[in-house]
Amino acid sequence: MPAKVGRPEGPTATIYIECPTSWCDSGTHVAEPTAHPEDISHISGAEANEVSVSSFLKSKHVAAHMLTSTIQCDPGSHDPRLEAAHIVIEDDVDYAHLTPDMGEAFADDLVAFASRLRQQARTARQHNQTVAGDSGTDMDEALRRVRGGAA
Ligand SMILES: [Zn+2]
């Protein structure tokens, strides 16, 4: 498949490489030029797995937080962990490189996080319903006092 080689501001050339993975999004090989062919790494579709958090205090179209995960491998790396297929978790600030085992452990943490988040949402909803019920009672009591004083 085609891959662009060259410096971002300089001339680039399109070469043809054998992509060794079935999961690589080949579009990345032409979207971002690589300085040297041996530096070409393989990345699964970046849009494929992401979760974003919106805030009711921000615009609907701007995520307050975003987390993306991709599969990557860098056959030319001298680090065997980067040479092997691994998971990269990316947010707006940094990248985290995870072995497949670390990826599974993080997935377990996310499942636990989601479970606790669901519980927090239930607790917040119950609180709001209780407060709404209490204020209704307070309002009734205030009305009774006003009416009683007026009578
Ligand atoms: Zn590839």
Report pLDDT digits (tens) over 37-93: 888 999 998 667 999 999 999 887 788 899 999 999 999 999 999 999 999 999 989
Report the pLDDT value the prediction gives residue 20, as an integer from 0 to 100.
84
Distance CA 83, CA 9 (A): 27
In a domain, residue 70? The reply is no
43 C-alpha vs ligand 1 centroid, how far in Å? 6
In a domain, residue 66? The reply is no
In a domain, residue 35? The reply is no
- Does 136 have pLDDT greater than 80? no
The dihedrals phi and psi of 65, each to the nearest 5 degrees, come to -140, 145
25 C-alpha vs ligand 1 centroid, how far in Å? 6
Report the pLDDT value the prediction gives residue 142, as an integer from 0 to 100.
64
Report the pLDDT value the prediction gives residue 151, as an integer from 0 to 100.
44
Report the pLDDT value the prediction gives residue 137, as an integer from 0 to 100.
58
Query: Which tops the pLDDT comparison, 133 or 14?
Result: 14
20 C-alpha vs ligand 1 centroid, how far in Å? 7
30 C-alpha vs ligand 1 centroid, how far in Å? 10
In a domain, residue 22? The reply is no
108 C-alpha vs ligand 1 centroid, how far in Å? 28
When pLDDT is averaged across residues 7-26 and rounded to a whole number, the result is 86
Report the pLDDT value the prediction gives residue 8, as an integer from 0 to 100.
73
26 C-alpha vs ligand 1 centroid, how far in Å? 5
Domain of residue 151 covers 100-151
| Residue found under tokens 């990316």 | 90
- Does 3 have pLDDT greater than 50? yes
Report the pLDDT value the prediction gives residue 143, as an integer from 0 to 100.
65
In a domain, residue 68? The reply is no
Please count the structural domains in the chain: 1
- Does 132 have pLDDT greater than 70? yes
98 C-alpha vs ligand 1 centroid, how far in Å? 19
**DSSP codes, 95-123:** EEEE-HHHHHHHHHHHHHHHHHHHHHHHH
In a domain, residue 77? The reply is no
Report pLDDT digits (tens) over 100-129: 999 999 999 999 999 999 999 999 999 999
Q: Give pTM, 2 decimals.
A: 0.76
Cross-strand pairs, 43: 72
